[in-house]
Structure 1
Amino acid sequence: MRGMAAADPARPSLRERKKAKTRAAIRKATYRIAAEHGWEAATTERIAEAAEVSPSTVVRYFPVREDILLTDEDDELLEARLRARPAAEEPLESLRAVVVEAVRTALAEEPEETRLRARLMVEIPAVRARLGETTATTGRRLARALADRTGRGADDLEVRIFTAAALGALREATVLWAEHGRTEDLLVLLNRTVDTLKTGLTPPAHP
């Protein structure tokens, strides 16, 4: 109708933007409390007070408390970027490209949060256990993209094994980084991980 602007399908709705703002506030409050007082102090009630929302809102957005640390809205973006990689590119190289870029962005934009999350992942068993579940969820999403790229079904054994092995290896590199005090270059470790998956385990070179 004349005088009315056409809706932009790519722009999130006001409701979606409000939800994203609330999720971000809950995350920010959680990281602040965990950094200053430890993970056990980051109770639902304390998070809610710091984020200026109700405890029921925290639970509604994050039914599992550990998910505040481990989940975000990046899975959809990862899938889109994976689908956008060159069709002729090896699947493992495509995964390398999208995961390394996502980690590079996180380290640049949220360095303290990224390092805190890695530390808690090592120190808190519940966070470490939940990481495995969230990685599996991400894996199922990326498996769909890889299946489409390779002409297979998302539930094919080969697709599931490939995706789970690659993401599990990249997760283990992050765990090692955290265990070593986050002093090494995580991007280098991730690239080494992919190289190891490609070449296998070989004896170290001797001078």
Structure 2
Amino acid sequence: MRLFHEQGYSATTVDQIAAAAEISPSTFFRYFPTKEATVLYDPFDPMLIAAALAQPPELSPIGALRATVTTIREVLPADEWERERQRQRLVLREPELRTAAMDKFAEGIDLLAGFAAQRTGREPGGFEVRNWAGAVVGVVLAAFLGSAADPEADTLEVLDEAVAHLEAGLPL
């Protein structure tokens, strides 16, 4: 991330990343298949789903997601969240990464559909479950795009507002 910030994403090479990490390029490729993968790797999704599943069962799936945002705010160190925020901004700013991120959004729908299925006793491939998961991903994407455009925005606060708006039925 430091190299991407200093030189720009496109100008940074795998050889430079490997040198900065004090590894060989071949070792780099054992961990990441592409330069894109270094930025697109998101360690938080599984953690978020686990935290959402741990929420009280009486909460709706949306209620559990909102409670998860509060939990993450309380347990995630500020510097770790700031690194994640910088990663998200880079993904949303670089056209090459934005395009590649579409696969990640599809994975997000799968993760959320699995979560909703577990909470509701429905099938993860069911129309309503996948439609709900797609709506959540759309709302999250809109929140990230909005907060990425504002360096002062508290992304977790914007995310909670976005999910609350979804919970209210997305009134205009």
TM score, norm. by length of structure 2: 0.86
Moved more, 71-80 or 39-48: 71-80
1:143 aligns with 2:103: no
Instruction: Please give the per-residue CA displacement for 1:118-137, whole angstroms capped at 9, x wherever unaligned.
Output: 33223211111222211321
Moved more, 91-100 or 43-52: 91-100
Instruction: Give the alignment of 1:35-46 within 5 angstroms.
Output: 35-46=5-16
Aligned equivalents of 2:88 and 2:67: distance in 1?
Answer: 21
> Per the alignment, do residues 136 and 76 of structure 1 end up closer, same or farther by CA in structure 2, a change over 3 Å counting?
same
> Per the alignment, do residues 125 and 96 of structure 1 end up closer, same or farther by CA in structure 2, a change over 3 Å counting?
same
Segments of structure 1 that go 5 or more residues without pairing to the other structure are: 1-30
Residue among 152, 157, 171 paired with 1:183: 152
Corresponding residue for 2:166?
A: 197
Aligned equivalents of 2:109 and 2:101: distance in 1?
Answer: 12
Corresponding residue for 2:36?
A: 66
Aligned equivalents of 1:117 and 1:145: distance in 2?
Answer: 25
> Per the alignment, do residues 109 and 52 of structure 1 end up closer, same or farther by CA in structure 2, a change over 3 Å counting?
same
1:98 aligns with 2:73: no
Instruction: Please give the per-residue CA displacement for 1:92-121, whole angstroms capped at 9, x wherever unaligned.
Output: 111222245446756713254234323322
Instruction: Give the alignment of 1:104-143 within 5 angstroms.
Output: 108-143=78-113
Q: CA deviation at 1:158?
A: 1.0
> Per the alignment, do residues 62 and 105 of structure 1 end up closer, same or farther by CA in structure 2, a change over 3 Å counting?
farther
Q: CA deviation at 1:156?
A: 0.8
TM score, norm. by length of structure 1: 0.73
2:40–2:91 contact (8 Å) kept in structure 1: no
1:122–1:179 contact (8 Å) kept in structure 2: no
> Per the alignment, do residues 161 and 80 of structure 1 end up closer, same or farther by CA in structure 2, a change over 3 Å counting?
same
Residue among 147, 152, 155 paired with 2:125: 155
Task: Report the residue type matching 1:135 in the other structure.
Answer: F
Task: Report the residue type matching 2:93 in the other structure.
Answer: E
> Per the alignment, do residues 99 and 167 of structure 1 end up closer, same or farther by CA in structure 2, a change over 3 Å counting?
farther
> Per the alignment, do residues 64 and 96 of structure 1 end up closer, same or farther by CA in structure 2, a change over 3 Å counting?
farther
> Per the alignment, do residues 194 and 111 of structure 1 end up closer, same or farther by CA in structure 2, a change over 3 Å counting?
closer
2:139–2:162 contact (8 Å) kept in structure 1: yes
Q: CA deviation at 1:143?
A: 1.8
Moved more, 137-146 or 103-112: 103-112
Task: Choose between structure 1 and 2 for higher RCO, CA contacts under 8 A separated by at least 6 residues.
Answer: 2
- The structure with the largest alpha-carbon Rg is 1
Aligned equivalents of 2:147 and 2:80: distance in 1?
Answer: 17
Instruction: Please give the per-residue CA displacement for 1:142-192, whole angstroms capped at 9, x wherever unaligned.
Output: 321220211111111111111121022112111111123x21222221122
What is the percentage of aligned positions where both structures have the same residue? 36
> Per the alignment, do residues 186 and 78 of structure 1 end up closer, same or farther by CA in structure 2, a change over 3 Å counting?
closer
